[in-house]
Amino acid sequence: MKVNLYLNFPGTCAEALALYARHLGAQTQMQATYEEMAAHGGPLNVPAGLTSKSILHARFKIGDALMMASDGPPERVQPMRSAYITLSVNSNDEAQRIYDALTEGGEIFMPLGETFFAHRFGQFRDKFGINWMLIHEKTAPEQD
């Protein structure tokens, strides 16, 4: 069994994937629009609030994580609640770079800073409604 994350966007999927590619190194493996589905014989059933160029389905990777995404009817797509995508990074500089990129236009829940368990840790929602935790962990002390 595999568990994958599926994200819905209110018509901003292509923009989100471009931002994640630019700042997180996300690699889109597959992307199809409603228009492309219709070109292959499927119906052109575009939900209200979207266009034929909206993303029907995309598959992408961030690091080793396989994720999927699409555009959904804007009146039904809500920002994430009580779930976060967690990014573990290897330096404070990388944490700051990603934090600065993903918080622009978003909402900060916990500013990026040092904690007892991390050199840098922060929680926020990006401008697309996706919740993120960002961590540069401290080495755990050895247990006796």
Of the two residues 102 and 1, the one the predictor is more confident about is 102
Report the chain's terminal Cα–Cα distance, integer Å: 36
* pLDDT band with cut points at 50, 70 and 90 for residue 143: low
Residue in the structure block whose two tokens are 């209200």:
48
User: Rounded mean pLDDT of 17-37?
Assistant: 96
Note the pLDDT of residue 39. Answer: 79
In the chain, which ranges are continuous DSSP H helix? 13-24, 34-39, 92-103
Average pLDDT (106-119) is 97
| pLDDT (0 to 100) of residue 93 | 98
> Mean pLDDT in the chain?
94
> Where does the pLDDT of residue 142 fall: very low under 50, low under 70, confident under 90, or very high at 90 and above?
low
| Mean pLDDT across 113-129 | 97
User: Domains of the chain (ranges plus CATH)?
Assistant: 1-78 (3.10.180.10), 79-144 (3.30.720.110)
* Candidate from 33-47, 61-75, 112-126 with smallest mean pLDDT: 33-47
Q: pLDDT (tens digit, 9 = 90+) per residue, 49-83?
A: 999 999 999 999 999 999 999 999 999 999 989 99
Q: What is the DSSP string of 16-44?
A: HHHHHHHHH--EEEEEEEHHHHHHTT---
Q: How high is the pLDDT of residue 71?
A: 97
Of the candidates 97, 105, 138, 137, the residue with the CA atom closest to the CA atom of residue 124: 105
C-alpha 34/C-alpha 54 separation (Å) is: 6
pLDDT at residue 2 in the model: 87
pLDDT greater than 70 at residue 3: yes
What is the C-alpha separation between 127 and 124, in angstroms, rounded?
Answer: 10
